[in-house]
Amino acid sequence: MKLTISLAQMAFEFGEVETNFNKAAEWIADASGHGSDLVLLPELWASGYDLSNWLRYATPLDEGLFPRIADLAKEYKIAVGCSLLEERDGKAFNTFVIYGPDGTRWGEYRKIHRFRLLEEEKWLGAGESLGLIDSPWGPIGLAVCYDLRFPEMFRPYALAGSKLILIVAEWPERRVAHWSKLLMARAIENQCFVAGTNKVGESLGAKLGGRSAVIDPWGETLVEGDDQEALLTVEIELKEADKARRFIPVFKDRRTDLY
């Protein structure tokens, strides 16, 4: 099964929600015009890491920017995935949602690994479950930024049949080599496609790294950005994951009796 993915490697205006929303709407329209089935926006693209003011941005899943993104997905007939601040039980969560081309929410994932270098544990609640969602292309695994450093999170996605893992991030330029290498590692070890969207520009005094990419199950880079804004689009064939898993049957050779 084939699908076309667009990665919206955006710069953004810190805390300027409407400006960022209007820009995102243009990128979603552009991705649709390129014939994409799915477009990914980066982590917290609307607000940035203005976490101490989370009350200004966070809403329940059926309010605020969430239904507005759903409306854009429906308007442009394209699946849209992105991360926004969600208010739930009096806490803020960094929540990755995906909406189908009819505007229905396919699922959500609340970031489980909080990045202590940005004091996320001070402002954000921790998610309590992995993000495996159903889609017309089969199960898809979801992850957010820092999650990429935890390989044990990704194996259950592959074992559940996922051939595609999606990651949204705000990863700094100073560690962008880690980002690129970890995207490749997660794809190779799980024999699946990995698509990661990262911001560019600056945030909290740090330059963001870009290098958004789609990696195939063999570890080959199908498309990759630099450190500038770009809409990166590529078609993938999900059957390649099946080929990789048959050729090197890693999952069958695991020693679950020992680890």
**DSSP conformational letter for 175:** G
Q: Which of 86, 120, 145, 192 is catalytic?
A: 145
Supply the pTM of this predicted model. 0.97
Q: What is the pLDDT of residues 69-94, one digit of tens each?
A: 999 999 999 999 999 999 999 999 99
The CA angle 204-112-65, to the nearest 5 degrees, is 60
Q: Which of 43, 120, 170, 224 is catalytic?
A: 43
- Yes or no: is domain 2-253 CATH 3.40.50.12780? no
Cα–Cα distance for residue pair 167/148, rounded to 1 Å:
8
Report yes or no: 145 and 170 within 8 Å, Cβ to Cβ: yes
Burial of residue 102 (CB within 10 Å: 0-12, 13-18, 19+) is exposed
| pLDDT computed for residue 107 by the predictor | 98
111 is catalytic: yes
Read off φ and ψ for residue 216, nearest 5 degrees. -90, 175
pLDDT tens digits, 121-154 = 999 999 999 999 999 999 999 999 999 999 999 9
User: Going by C-beta distance under 8 Å and a sequence separation of 6 or more, which residues neighbour residue 237?
Assistant: 1, 2
Mark whether 87 is an active-site residue. Answer: no
Our answer to whether residue 128 is catalytic in this structure is no
pLDDT digits (tens, 9 = 90+) for 189-241: 999 999 999 999 999 889 999 999 999 999 999 999 999 999 999 999 999 99
Q: Active-site residue among 82, 86, 111, 120? A: 111
Please tell me the predicted confidence (pLDDT) of residue 204.
Answer: 87
Residue from 241, 239, 150 nearest 193 by CA: 241
